[in-house]
Amino acid sequence: MSKWAKYPSLKNRSVFITGGGSGIGASIVEHFCEQGSKVGFVDIDVASSKKLVADMKAKGHIAPVFREVDLRNIAALQKAIKEISAEMGPFTILINNAAHDERHKIDDVTVEFWDDRQAVNLRHQFFTVQAIYKEMAAAGGGSIVNIGSSSWYLAQGGMPGYTTAKCAVLGLTRGFARDLGGMNIRVNHLVPGWIMTQRQIDKWLTPESEADMLKKQCLKEKVYPEDVARMALWLASDDSRMCTNQSWVVDGGWI
């Protein structure tokens, strides 16, 4: 028997997740599938995404529906949302997860690169909501979770395009919470700390960086994608029905 919570309100609910093919997004896909939700997701990593679909099906869950989409292409993104919704029913849960924390130096940033960082890390969050909120409202309401980052809270340097975009996710969340609250749509901001995805482990985790992280965290353990996924489940479920317009931090107590 699992020690983790089951949410009856998530069973058979239609969920849309961006960047669901790997890392935090893949864990979120897995956790919603385990709750009996109907999951649609987009990603640019076709191989990982197809493997995830096969794994969920092999475990006896409702197979998630995957579409290959570059989120910089808003028309393709909104087309995929429409197609998947027609297949599995109106979305009442949206998890805006996709992002890319590419490091960059101030002097190397061009106008084109800056705009690309905003497109990859921020712009698509607005346009997923634009594509989904009316069907969510017609279904009686729902939950939107916009995933941000602890990086800008910590004044982390070395990627100003990313930290600017992720800071703006908070403003986007609060504006949407006000605009959509009357439709019974909740909008929350989920803030991961340094999450031990395979990419983070491969690129940046060293004995020195791990020691520094654990020194700064109140809880002396590494934080993993499933820790973020379980918070996303709660925010999507009816258990959090009166929670909106807030930031929920999963970082071991670093911020």
Enzyme catalytic residues: 162
Residues 6+ apart with CB under 8 A from 60: none
SS3 content of the chain, % helix, strand, coil (to 5): 50, 15, 35
Whether 246 and 187 have beta carbons less than 8 Å apart is answered as no
Q: Compute the distance between CA of residue 24 and CA of residue 191 in angstroms, rounded to an integer.
A: 12
**DSSP-assigned letters across all residues of 117-144:** HHIIIIIHHHHHHHHHHHHHHHTT-EEE
Q: Compute the distance between CA of residue 139 and CA of residue 133 in angstroms, rounded to an integer.
A: 10
Mark 23-61 as b/e (b = at least 16 C-beta within 10 Å).
bbbbbbbbbbbbbebbbbbbbebeebbeebbebbeeeeb
Q: Compute the distance between CA of residue 57 and CA of residue 174 in angstroms, rounded to an integer.
A: 36
| Helices and strands (H and E) in the chain: how many | 9, 7
Q: CA nearest 124: which of 100, 82, 96? A: 96
Q: Compute the distance between CA of residue 47 and CA of residue 45 in angstroms, rounded to an integer.
A: 6
User: For the purposes of burial, counting CB atoms within 10 Å of the CB of 255, is it exposed (0-12), middle (13-18) or buried (19 or more)?
Assistant: middle
